[in-house]
Structure 1
Amino acid sequence: MLSLLIPWSLHKTKWSGLKQNTVVGPAQPVVAAVGQDIVLPCHLEPAANASEMTVEWTRPDLEPRFVYVWRDGVELESKKHPVYEGRTSVFSDELKHGNISLKLSRVRISDEGRYRCFIPDVGDSSVQLIPGAVSSPFIVRIERSSSGHVVLQCESTGWYPEPEVFWLDGEGNLLSAGPTETVRGPDDLYTVSSRVTVEKRHSNSFTCRVQQNHTNQTRETLIHVSGLDCSYYKLEANCRHFDRIRLSCFELIRS
């Protein structure tokens, strides 16, 4: 009878020892620039040697779901989803210190999602990855409306996730603008365009600001209108390739 109890006692002690450790991930989403390398943090707390444990990184929305698998001291490349081949790894020298973070190379927009860091008999933790892409806005059109007001159009290409566009006057006050036009390209990046009508009661300086709150990214460009009461009916300029352009009634400054 005693011989039957001893193995159970040993197994329970080992299992309880493992359960004292906790798999810990970040409390906030991880934001990564498209094309760059990123680390999804995950570690054992308190620190313990994970080099002989099984470490699994998965994305539940994929099939197969495995992003990276470490077992018996080696990586199981055959388990990995094809889109992550050659792009995921762990810090093998740091496993003995309980660092089971995942390095993801050349981040893609399609990498967006929730990742699960898991060690059997110990626990798991999840981390949300948000890829981001940004681009500076530029003024694509300056014209005078039939009512005599000046109309400015701002555009920015190559954003992810979808950003917002705001217009501000020289004092930093928000201006009422028309609805933002948004186009998502075949590369999944967004192009946004916005128009605003300015009047003599406004200051002569205006800012087009494009921002993405999830990735905490903001880009803006400044335009100085030197003559709101100019008699010209219509003025146009494509300013994509100019740092500074001077027209009869307008002076444009790219940020």
Structure 2
Amino acid sequence: MELLLDLLCLCLLCLTGKTLCDENGPEVIKVEEGADVMLPCSLSTKENIEFKFFDWRKVARTDGLKEVFLYDAGIHYNNGLDGQSEEFKGRVSHFQDELKHGNASIIIRNTQVTDSGVYTCDFPNFQPPQTFYIELVVVGAALKPFVTILDATAYSAKLQCEVHGNPKPKVELQDSDGNILHAKVTQDSEREGSFYITLQTTVTKTGTYRCVATQEEIRHQIYAEISVYISGFSTGWIAATVIGVLFLVAGVILAVLLYRRKKEPKRIKVEEGDDVTLPCSLWPMDITSKQFVWQKTDDGQKVFLYDNGDLYSDELPDQSEQFKGRVSYFEDELEQGNASITIRNTTRADSGEYRCSFQKHQTFCIKLDVVGPEVIKVEEGSDVTLPCSLLHKDIWLTQFNWKKMSQNDESQMEVFLYDNGDLYSDERPGQSEQFKGRVSHFQDELKQGNASITIRNTTRADSGHYRCKFPFIQKPQIFYIKLDVVASTPEPNELHPLMNGMDGIELHSLMIERL
């Protein structure tokens, strides 16, 4: 319903005659909740807009247009300009280096279902004014169902399953053989962009029952199970004994699981430079007014603190330097017990064991393994191909760039640029002198997603870390390669002149004479 109202607002704008509406409607971009998304907006003339004015807004159902990002000749919401809507603060950035080419695209980080809607990119001071439209659809995968026994007698048990997500999940209760049980829908509602569904059923047999949530649109399915025991006796010591044994067995199993959890933490592997989410949840408990702490236990570093709305800051300055500015949490999911965090731009130093702790509650342990880039070794003077590929994706009309990295970002070297057919040249300078005339790409393989490059006649100075980046695709991708150029092995004709042409006996005699 909200999306239909947003589109109605868009239609009314189109009828004013001041917009560039396509008869097929705005471009639609779909992204999973929690991911970053780029909203494209670019002038076909590639006119320099560094000193121009443009404004990104979201078409809102009730309160008009929400301010997403405004740029005015170098001044914008991220460097002191007021007026940005609260829900977008700290989550929106633009491409400063691309303004000179007419690129006004923005990135919204950590998307939420409530970000869904129609966005406008407006150049009001152009003659005529220009407006671009994008429809963003943020889908949220259903969380694990919550199954409980509401009521139980000696002959039956009443089960309840609660699920929420977007798109709307299909929810079923099944027995241990996979048969779908008849269930009553006690809740089917929509709030803040998510669908909430509750089913209830009564079972009369001992067994394991499963609640399954399926979202076919995003090919997502998740389930939860619960064990039910039907004694068949209303009273008596037999029923009591069996129940006691079950509790004892359950206690032993729980103790074993807790022991294993502590002994063997969940392992997560990620490539250096990527973002990683460390999971931690007390679902369905609301932890908005609680405290939880993330620590790196192998070296004692303080990673993240949430304390009833307070975070590490100037007032709470204990966060370890290594993690400052790189850790975020899922604020909108605290009510569902989600205490997970995301560490951005991981490094090898982030590898280790992490602990998520709640006061008087559970402790979760994660082992993070940040692996280094692929290493390629080549002899000096040889040609080398540095691989980079988006499998089965046509990159003919996008941009990717290669840079040689260093500890100091200011000294990064520009290796290669492909921008919708344009390359580094006299008309588009910027390539580092070291690589001019030595780097080529695979033009015929761009439609297969191949962004690899070849560096000819390598030198020892070419050794180092290289980065291949796709900044403007829906979810920007970065690949890292380490190149090691080693000294070449001398050819036989490069040996000492006295040794050339000698057989083993002559060479041995010569060595004896010199001794």
> TM-score per shorter chain, which class?
0.5 to 0.7
Deviation readout 1:179-200 (Å, 9 max, x if unpaired): 1336889x99776532223355
Q: Look up the equivalent residue of 1:196 and give its one-letter code.
A: T
Inter-partner Cα distance in structure 2 for 1:69 and 1:159: 32
Contact 2:148–2:226 (8 Å) recurs in 1: no
C-alpha deviation, 1:220, in angstroms: 1.4
In the alignment, structure 1 residue 177 sits paired with structure 2 residue 178: no
Q: Deviations over 1:12-68 (max 9, x none)?
A: xxxxxxx9xxxx9753433423xxx63243143868355435432111224454311
Q: 1:56 maps to which residue?
A: 55
Hey, what does 1:103 align to over in structure 2?
107
Which residue is equivalent to 1:38?
A: 36
- Change in 2 beyond 3 A, CA 1:216/1:99: farther
Provide the residue aligned with 1:4 in structure 2: none
Instruction: Report if the CA contact (8 A) 2:42-2:105 is conserved.
Output: no
Tell me which moved more, 51-60 or 94-103: 94-103
Structure 1 residues 207, 46: CA separation in 2 closer, same or farther (over 3 Å shift)? Answer: farther
SS in 2 for 1:93: helix
Give the aligned partner of residue 73 of structure 2.
72
Query: 1:91 deviation in Å?
Result: 2.2
Q: For residues 160 and 182 of structure 2, what CA distance do their matches in structure 1 show? A: 13
TM norm structure 1: 0.58
Residue identity in the other structure for 1:165: V
Is 2:113–2:140's contact at 8 Å kept on the other side of the alignment?
Answer: yes
Q: 1:178 is aligned with what amino acid?
A: K
User: For 1:99 and 1:68, how far apart are their aligned partners in 2?
Assistant: 14
With over 3 angstroms needed to count, the CA separation of the structure-2 counterparts of 1:192 and 1:126, relative to structure 1, is same
Q: Which residue of 2 aligns with 1:136?
A: 144
Q: State yes or no: 1:155 paired with 2:153.
A: no
Identical positions, percent: 22
Instruction: State the alpha-carbon separation in 2 of the partners of residues 135 and 164 from structure 1.
Output: 13
Q: Give the Cα separation in 1 of the matches to 2:200 and 2:122.
A: 49
Q: Helix, strand or coil for the counterpart of 1:48? A: coil
CA shift, 1:69, in A, is 1.6
Give a deviation string over 1:76-108, Cα, whole Å, max 9, x none.
Answer: 633533543433221222344555332234555
Structure 2 length-normalised TM:
0.33
Q: Which residue of 2 aligns with 1:194?
A: 199
Kindly tell me: are residues 196 and 94 of structure 1, through their superposed partners in 2, closer, same or farther at Cα, counting changes over 3 Å? Answer: farther
Q: Judge conservation of contact 2:37–2:111 (CA < 8 Å) in 1.
A: no
Cα offset for 1:70? 2.0
Q: Which has the higher Rg, Structure 1 or Structure 2?
A: 2
Partner of 1:16: none
Mark the CA change 1:152 to 1:90 in structure 2 (over 3 Å): closer, same or farther: same
Structure 1 unaligned blocks of 5 or more: 1-18, 236-244
Give the counterpart of 2:133 among 118, 125, 129: 125
Superposed CA RMSD: 4.7
Deviations 1:201-243 (A, max 9, x none): xx94432123556776543112345x66x314599xxxxxxxx
Partner SS state of residue 136, structure 1: coil
2:81 counterpart of 1:84: no
Q: Distance in 2 between matches of 1:47 and 1:209?
A: 52
Q: Which has the higher contact order (CA 8 A, sep 6+)?
A: 1
Q: Is the partner of 1:118 in helix, strand or coil?
A: strand
Equivalent residue letter for 1:100: A
Alpha-carbon distance between aligned partners in 2 of 1:92 and 1:55, rounded to the nearest angstrom = 13
In structure 2, distance between residues paired with 1:101 and 1:39: 11
State the AA in 1 paired with 2:122.
Answer: F
Counterpart of 1:57, as a letter, is W
Unaligned runs of 5+ in 2: 1-19, 240-244, 255-515
